[in-house]
């Protein structure tokens, strides 16, 4: 396949993958360009398309030895086992050890079995979604789920085991700390009370600065938390209070980490020459967000144009009227 998307087979370690919506095998199509700024630093979004060959070959099987063979090829093949085999602990354990999400095809008795569910969440924390309600409230099971949240679904779809824990455990400090240590964005599923706990929020933004968007309004005004967040991800400045976006120390740390944060600094600081220079040295086109005065400053414009010639269109009308060539000539005089 050519153009904006490229076709790729699933990695050998993953085997045939399945659509999270229809549980069907699929090929991976990765977006290779034109990615929004918000996801440029994150894992690529995947697009799924069923493989007709695999779908045609799929058939129900009733023999235990065949079932074991099939789930070893890929755990999600448990879907095609007969109900009797979906209730076989040996077959289901084999399946979830290869793909935790195969738990969804097991019978209810096994989805309430601690051994089976622990095996599933150890493979993929998001498999907790398919556990019984009782086990979603089991501290040992949920802890295993959040500590294994480094699988395909967590990385690419932004889904974390903590999401499927009981409300009581989403308010448990030990569980939430374990979750945000694995991925800061898991803060999204913590209880409202814990989103105001400074210790937890700090741990989350240390792991992922963008997790700042999920903390409470109280924490969004905390300078210490803000500094940790922007040093990890400068663009997280967009989630902060105006007071913090007008704080030169916070704004400088954000722009040095990611020049694009200049878009979110206060109107007052957009007139700070040092701050704007730090941004345009990274991306010249960010001259657009400088104050009118600095867009007419020949040295700021020179820094921006040196990085990206197209930045000249963001210069003041007075500088643009002379044209780019005359601008360079004037600098040499």
Q: In sequence order, what are the residues at sequence separation of 6 or more whose Cβ sits closer than 8 angstroms to the Cβ of residue 150?
A: 182, 183
Distance of CA 198 to the CA centre of its chain: 22
Provide the domain limits for residue 37: 1-58
Q: How far apart are CA 96 and CA 107, in angstroms?
A: 13
Read off the pTM. Answer: 0.72
Residue % of the chain over a pLDDT of 70? 75
Q: Using one digit for the tens of pLDDT, what is the confidence trace for 256-288?
A: 999 999 999 999 999 999 999 999 999 999 999
| Through-space distance between the first and last CA atoms of the chain, rounded to whole angstroms | 53
Q: What is the sign of the dihedral through the CA atoms of 252, 258, 262 and 264?
A: negative
Domain count, the chain: 2
Q: In sequence order, what are the residues at sequence separation of 6 or more whose Cβ sits closer than 8 angstroms to the Cβ of residue 36?
A: none
Same structural domain for residues 49 and 85?
no
Q: Is residue 325 part of a domain?
A: no
Same structural domain for residues 50 and 66?
no
Same structural domain for residues 80 and 125?
yes
Q: Last residue of a domain, which of 168, 191, 214?
A: 191
Same structural domain for residues 79 and 167?
yes
Strand-pair partners of 55: none
Q: Using one digit for the tens of pLDDT, what is the confidence trace for 289-298?
A: 999 999 988 8
At 46, give phi and psi (nearest 5°).
-110, 150
Q: Using one digit for the tens of pLDDT, what is the confidence trace for 27-40?
A: 333 333 333 344 34
Q: Is residue 265 part of a domain?
A: no
Q: Cβ–Cβ contacts within 10 Å for residue 184, how many?
A: 24
Same structural domain for residues 157 and 78?
yes
């Amino acid at each position: 396949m050519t153009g904006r998307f490229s076709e790729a087979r699933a990695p050998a370690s993953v085997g045939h993958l399945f659509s999270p919506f229809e549980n069907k095998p699929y090929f991976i199509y990765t977006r290779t360009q034109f990615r929004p700024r918000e996801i440029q630093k994150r894992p690529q979004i995947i697009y799924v398309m069923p493989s007709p060959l695999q779908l045609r070959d799929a058939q129900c099987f009733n023999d235990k030895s065949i079932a074991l063979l099939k789930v070893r090829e890929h755990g999600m093949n448990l879907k095609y086992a007969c109900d009797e085999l979906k209730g076989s602990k040996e077959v289901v354990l084999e399946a979830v050890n290869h793909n935790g999400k195969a738990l969804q095809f097991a019978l209810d008795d096994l989805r309430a079995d601690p051994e089976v569910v622990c095996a599933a969440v150890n493979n993929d924390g998001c498999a907790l979604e398919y556990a019984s309600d009782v086990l979603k409230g089991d501290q040992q099971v949920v802890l295993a789920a959040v500590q294994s949240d480094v699988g395909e679904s967590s990385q690419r779809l932004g889904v974390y085991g903590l999401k499927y824990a009981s409300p009581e455990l989403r308010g448990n400090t030990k569980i939430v700390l374990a979750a945000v240590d694995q991925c800061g964005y898991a803060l999204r599923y913590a209880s409202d009370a814990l989103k105001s706990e400074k210790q937890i929020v700090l741990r989350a933004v240390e792991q992922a600065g963008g997790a700042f968007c999920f903390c409470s309004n109280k924490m969004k005004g905390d300078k210490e938390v803000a500094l940790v967040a922007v040093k990890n991800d400068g663009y997280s400045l967009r989630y902060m209070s105006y007071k913090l976006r007008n704080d030169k120390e916070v704004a400088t740390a954000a722009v040095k980490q990611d020049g694009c944060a200049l878009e979110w600094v206060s109107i007052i600081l957009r007139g700070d020459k040092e701050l704007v220079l730090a941004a345009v040295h990274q991306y010249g086109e960010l001259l657009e967000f400088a104050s009118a005065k600095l867009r007419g400053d020949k040295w700021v414009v020179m820094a921006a144009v040196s990085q990206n010639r197209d930045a000249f269109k963001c210069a003041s009308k007075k500088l643009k009227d002379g044209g780019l060539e005359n601008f360079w000539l004037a600098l040499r005089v």
